Structure 1
């Protein structure tokens, strides 16, 4: 029997739970933070659970970490002492490794210490047992979730936890002159899907205005055709590699095989968006990549996603579908043209 702390975007935990119930038989689930964090108990071993998630990663599961130990919260220095002893006993798993400490908490958790205080104490213990405390790019992560009564503690690699950020909450720093926060969605998609935007040559951005995604592609050196009847941000016109078409994408035709990347972040209904992208498929080279957000406007998002993926399957191979941290009422698809 194994236990796991699971996290979804706020308000979407129900869908992550449903995906897990469809994937794993005999699991038990209870919520720890309403609509976001829950604990899953599975009859499978740790390795079996991780193998299944690697094979078929749930769309709405943002982060997961094993519960290796549960510690009762005392609300005193005893809590830090218990965590320190746990880290010492894990010496064989963390010695000679770079280790990050991640602490999250439920609202009203009686655990009294801040992330900084907890990390300071545990970093000293990590050094004591021959590990190297780090903030970024760890080999393994010591994850702690402070609930209402217990600390749920587990050690796993970033890949096993689906993210190297606490709870999968990827944070980007807002830049001076940034056009919109939508840029963060494409930055996170690049990380989550293990792609490098600078390796593409010519991009098509459908529904581009005000231009957050276009801006990122231009920064990475692509030639970009930005399509939207609305205006782009004036700062974008400093780039000679930008072609701005103030039209509806449905009214345009391009030379076959023009683009090796299509991005689309439009606030359209899912099936309208699918029809529009499929109408433009001849403009994409074979093997071209598409990064597309799907707005979840209906009460049955799992069925909507299934229908969208099925329709795209006539032209594209789905590499991954994921609700990223910076997605709101939507998910992001990573597709490659057949």
Structure 2
């Protein structure tokens, strides 16, 4: 038996729960933060749950925190004393490792301490345990979640928790002159799927305007062909490595194998997007990569995703399917041409 806290994007927790119900028999689920975080229990040990999640990672499960210990919140210094004692008893998991601390509080939680205060106490105890407090590149994470009545704490690696950010909320710093927040989606996809855009040479961006994704690829040194009847941001036109086609994507054609990367973040229906991408498959090199977002416009997103994946699988191996933190009413696919 093991307990976990799952986190999804706002309003998408029900779909993460549905995926987990299909994956684990006899699962029980309790909401902690409506539409976002939930507690679930399965009749399996932690190792078996982690193996199952690794083999078939749910699309909408953004973060997974193991629950090793639980305490009713007393809303005083006893809460911190309990946390310190638990970390001390966990020395065997922490000693000699770079350890980070994640602290989250549900809205309305009576837990009186800030994340910074809790981290300071935990970091002091980590040092006593022979661990090195480290937030940027931790090997192991101490995660604490304060609900409206209970403290939940657990230890795991960033890979096991599906992210090295608290709750999987990946943050990027907005740059001066940044064209759009859509750039963050492509940055997060690179991070999530273990890509390096600088390793590609020629990209095509379908539905490029105003140019958030195009700007990132240009900055990484790629030659980019941007397709969109709308205008790109004027700042991009200075790039000699940019080709702009002011057309609908359905109206263009290219030499076979012209690109090794295809990206698409169009606000079209999922089936229209799928058809456009499939029509451009010949222009992608054998083994070429595609990153596309699927807009979840309907009430049955899991069914929509299954249909899109089924159609795309005729031409692509589907290597990743995730709703990223920076996705809103959408999710992201990582594809490789067969």
Q: Is structure 2 residue 14 aligned with structure 1 residue 14?
A: yes
Q: By how many angstroms is 1:238 displaced?
A: 1.2
**Which whole-Å CA distance do the structure 1 matches of 2:125 and 2:299 have between them?**
48
Q: Hey, what's the Cα distance between the residues in 1 that align with 2:212 and 2:92?
A: 46
* Shift of residue 120, structure 1, vs aligned partner: 0.8
Matched pairs, number: 338
Post-superposition shift, 1:129?
1.2
SS of aligned partner of 1:84: helix
1:151-230 → structure 2 map (5 Å cutoff): 151-230=151-230
Q: What are the Cα deviations for residues 72-97 of structure 1, in whole angstroms up to 9, with x where unaligned?
A: 21100111110000000000110111
The equivalences for 1:267-286 within 5 A come to: 267-286=267-286
Asked whether 1:79 is paired with 2:79, we answer yes
Structure 1 CA distance for aligned equivalents of residues 137 and 311 of structure 2: 37
Aligned to 1:323: 323
Q: Where does residue 103 of structure 2 map in the other structure?
A: 103
Specify the SS of the correspondent of 2:191: helix
User: Is 1:68 equivalent to 2:68 in the alignment?
Assistant: yes
Q: Which residue of 2 aligns with 1:239?
A: 239
CA shift at 1:148, angstroms? 1.1
CA distance in 2, matches of 1:93, 1:52: 22
The residue that corresponds to 2:264 in the other structure is 264
When normalised by structure 1's length, the TM-score is: 1.00
Task: Classify the secondary structure of the residue corresponding to 1:237.
Answer: helix
Q: Give the secondary-structure state (helix, strand or coil) at the position aligned to 2:136.
A: coil
Structure 2: tracts of 5 or more residues without a match: none
Deviation at residue 128 of structure 1 after TM alignment? 1.0
SS of equivalent to 2:61: coil
Deviates more, 1:164-173 or 1:131-140: 131-140
Q: Mapping of 1:305-316 within 5 angstroms?
A: 305-316=305-316
**Greater than 2 Å deviation, 4+ residue runs:** none
SS of corresponding position for 2:159: helix
Root-mean-square deviation over aligned CA pairs: 0.5
Measure the CA separation in 1 of the matches of 2:36 and 2:235.
Answer: 38
| Equivalent position SS for 1:273 | helix
User: Following the alignment from structure 1 to structure 2, what is the Cα–Cα distance between the partners of residues 167 and 278?
Assistant: 35
**How far off is 1:287 after superposition?**
0.3
Q: Indicate the SS of the match to 1:160.
A: coil
CA distance in 2, matches of 1:156, 1:10: 24
Q: Find out whether 1:49 has 2:49 as its counterpart.
A: yes
Deviations 1:262-313 (A, max 9, x none): 0000000000000111111110000000000000011100000000000001
Distance 1:162 1:129 in 2: 25
| Distance in 2 separating the partners of 1:218 and 1:280 | 21
- Report the counterpart of residue 255 of structure 1 in structure 2: 255
Find the aligned partners of 1:281 and 1:116 in 2 and give their Cα distance: 49
CA deviation profile, 1:125-153 (whole Å, cap 9, x unmatched): 11111111111110100000001111000
Report Cα offsets for 1:98-127 as digits up to 9, x if no partner. 111100011110000001101111111111
CA distance in 1, matches of 2:171, 2:237: 28
Which secondary structure does the structure 2 equivalent of 1:60 belong to? Answer: coil
For structure 1, the 5+ residue unaligned runs are none
Q: Distance in 1 between matches of 2:131 and 2:276?
A: 52
Shift of 1:56: 0.2
Question: What whole-Å deviation, never above 9, does each CA across 1:167-205 have from its counterpart, x for those lacking one?
Answer: 000000000010000000000000000010000010000
**Per-residue deviation, 1:260:** 0.3
After TM superposition, list the pairs within 5 Å mapping 1:122-141 onto structure 2: 122-141=122-141
State how far apart, in whole Å, the 2-side matches of 1:119 and 1:274 are: 45
Q: Say which SS state the counterpart of residue 161 (structure 1) adopts.
A: coil
SS, match of residue 160 in structure 2: helix
